[in-house]
A and B are shown apart, each in its own frame.
Chain A
Amino acid sequence: MLDEGMVTGDALAGHAPDPRRKLVEVRGLKMYFPITSGLLRRKIGDVKAVDNVSFDIYEGETLGLVGESGCGKSTTGRALLRLYEVTDGVVKIDGQDVARADARTLRQMRTTMQMVFQDPQASLNPRMTVASIISEPLDEHTKLSKKEKLARIYELMDAVGLNRTFANRYPHEFSGGQRQRIGIARALALNPKFIVCDEPIAALDVSIQAQVVNLLEELQEKLGLTYLFISHDLSMVRHIADRVAVMYLGQLAELAPREALYAEPLHPYTEALLSAVPDPDPAVETRRARIILKGDVPSPANPPKGCNFCTRCPRVMAVCKDVEPAFREVRPQHFVACHLYDSDKTQDAGSAGA
């Protein structure tokens, strides 16, 4: 089925050549935040929020990014759109390197990549009406006439299910779900190809969560959008994502198609994470064996030597505390960074992974 000899310049394509086009390519992404101290604010170290992360997102798919609080999910999402100055690595979106684009190019590229933020209240300027929030990117990046702009605003409001008569209201006059719809309409204004959804439903009621997620799915179908869906809600990710990446302490632990990951998690961390999802059936729920991880997440300023997860891993081995596991494709399209699978015969995907 696969010709391993065909590994070309793109090491990732070597294993399972995918007919789909890669819209987003991330290679060795590092996002370090300096720690300063003392009178002169000397740099004494780094918080390694994202440390050497590589993955691809194919056009039209939804990649779920899960992990516990503080593992670097949101930082990855923001770094992808260059809302932070990345420390190192390559981020290519639609063929263009975002991480190193100059200010002007970057601003033009912002039309292809957008973000839906976590907190729909704080992420909208309280002094701007819905219409001006949605039309601001149009003012900046297009030359539409006033009438066309208004038509576009109404079109977007219709698309996200907002009543047109609300155009001149301010964000605080809306409910959480409606505000998130404003945030989505705003992100869609410039017809982006790629949208990072940074925990778009975390601040919403459960009933509203479903509405917003369904809206995102509908829009994806209609507009052919590509999502990076960041969440800590595993069941929601299972619902929306085509592939799922699991993050732990700034690194990717596992990346696999949804069904494969939920059916057979390879990484001990993924296993523990999935075992924490409650089951709606009380009979199953009482018999469910939860893997309880001991200890706390180490500080990203001082990650452990070897595997990042070695301090809490229930299946830790001697090698884990010494050698950092490579992020490798151990099954087709199933990548994992764990020494347990060192013996599995597969080709080393090197520093990259998809």
Chain B
Amino acid sequence: MLNYTIRRLVLAVPTLLFISLIIFSLLKLAPGNPLGDLPLTIPPEVREKMREALGVNKPLLVQYLLWLKEFFVVEPLHLIDVIFGTHYSAGMQRIISWQTRSPVFDIIAQRIPQTLWVVGLAYVVGVLIALPIGILSAYKQYSVFDQTGTFAAMLGLAVPPFFSGVLMILIFSVYLNWFPAIYNTNLNVDSWHNFWLQIRQMVMPVLVLAIQTTSQISRYLRSSMLDNLSQDYVRTARAKGMSESRVVLIHVLRNSMIPVITVIALGVPSVFGGAIVTEQIFLVNGIGQLLITAIYANDLPMVQTITFIFAVLIVLFNLVADLLYGVLDPRIRYD
């Protein structure tokens, strides 16, 4: 298993380099000018100086290699400096956002807690709701519960968050006035009252996002459970005289979770990616919102860095999913 992991990690390096090159090329090929929003009255020589300051006048290959150096050398060194109080990265150029002129990673560090709280919690809630639904709808296949669950899951997958989000705001904020329509990032959770406010403002975005996860995972679990319920070993377990709950929750569920857990693992990178639409609707200033504003502003270093982090996470969690498969299913052995 260890050898396999190391081999996969080594193989991930060329994959990620290639991905970074593609992202870089696509961004450079895309139309757009970082100085496009500046007034036309700025004289050409000043404009040229600004271009030089942003580093856009250098050859493309140099720009790409510089970004690689910043991402893989300078930023890790800076992280070490911050943690251990050393000065390895002193004087080195970090990745700078063109919008704010501050380091990209500092901005990401500011934004990640909101995203993890809202999107991460939504993912956990979604999975937790999905498990009992999936188990019960498979166990009572074609029952009223199963039919309702199927219909609800279909609806949850079909209705996009920009519709369900707005609908929830309309119902629960405007008409019923139960929850605030806007997520207040400045809220400092220092008292029970503020904690309560925090919970209330998280309810709607978490629910909107959880609907999607629940719909997907409950479907996966249902079909996986159905596969296993008809297996011979389930009959064996019943013949052994096991209680029905033990048959379903130990024998069937454990085997059914194998494919589902990999699906769950593969979904984790999207948590870090934030939820562009939902964050925008509820004004949660997380990573998704950061990415979309950076795209609008032609902030190439920011877009490049965030997109590449997604790529790293996706490659990483693919590996995690594969390893989990090996851990959960004794029939699968690596090496």
Contact = CB atoms under 8 A, between A and B. Distances in A.
Contacts of A242: none
B62 interface: no
A107 B239 CA distance: 9
B9 interface: no
A124 B241 contact: no
A127 B241 contact: no
Given A122-B231, A126-B329, A126-B330, A140 B242 contact: yes
A190 to B, nearest CB: 8
B108 to A, nearest CB: 40
In the complex, which range does the number of interface residues on chain A fall in? 20 to 34
Interface string A113-131: 0110111001111110000
B330 A124 contact: no
Contacts of A127: 254-255, 328-330
Interface in A46-102: 78, 81, 83
A170 B239 contact: no
B184 to A, nearest CB: 47
Contacts of A114: 239-240
B193 interface: no
Nearest to A118: B232
Contacts of A107: 241-243
A238 interface: no
Interface string B323-334: 000001111000
Interface in A101-147: 103, 106-111, 114-115, 117-119, 122-127, 136-137, 140-141
Contacts of B237: 125, 136
A107 to B, nearest CB: 5
A80 B328 CA distance: 35
A186 B240 contact: yes
A190 B239 CA distance: 12
A126 B235 CA distance: 14
Contacts of B255: 125-127
B33 interface: no
A106 B237 CA distance: 14
Given A123-B233, A125-B251, A127-B255, A140 B331 contact: no
Contacts of A21: none
A45 to B, nearest CB: 18
A125 B241 contact: no
Contact of B142 (A41, A103, A125): A41
Contacts of B242: 107, 136-137, 140
B106 to A, nearest CB: 46
A239 interface: no
B240 A117 contact: no
Q: Would you list the 5 A-B pairs with minimal beta carbon distance, nearest first? A: A110-B241, A122-B232, A123-B232, A170-B330, A125-B233
21 contacts: A41-B142, A78-B235, A106-B241, A110-B239, A110-B240, A110-B241, A111-B241, A114-B239, A115-B236, A118-B232, A122-B233, A123-B232, A124-B233, A126-B255, A127-B329, A137-B240, A137-B241, A140-B240, A140-B243, A183-B236, A186-B240
Given A118-B232, A124-B236, 20 more contacts: A81-B239, A108-B241, A110-B241, A111-B241, A114-B240, A115-B236, A115-B239, A117-B235, A125-B233, A125-B237, A125-B251, A126-B329, A126-B330, A127-B255, A127-B329, A140-B243, A170-B330, A170-B331, A172-B330, A186-B240
